[in-house]
Amino acid sequence: MANQFKIDGEEVLDGEVKPFGNSAHVTVPKRWRGADVKVVRTSEPTEQDEE
């Protein structure tokens, strides 16, 4: 069972985490620049890094 979190916010965006160099990123709208955000992972990763 997943954990539940309550977050008061202005807007919700569904997206996919994409590779970015040695890391990953989530793209958000340009109008969000300068805003405080929180990212919540809602599923297990489908791709595992090889170490």
pLDDT in tens, 3-49: 898 999 999 999 999 999 999 999 999 999 999 999 999 888 887 66
* pTM of the full structure: 0.67
Please report, to the nearest 10 degrees, the dihedral formed by the alpha carbons of residues 7, 8, 13, 19 taken in order.
Answer: -40
* Residue 14 neighbours by CB distance under 10 Å: 5
- In the block, which residue shows the tokens 């202005």? 10
Residue 2 is predicted with a pLDDT of 77
30 three-class SS: helix
Residue 49 is predicted with a pLDDT of 60
In Å, the largest CA–CA distance within the chain is 38
Tell how strand 18-20 and strand 23-25 pair up.
antiparallel
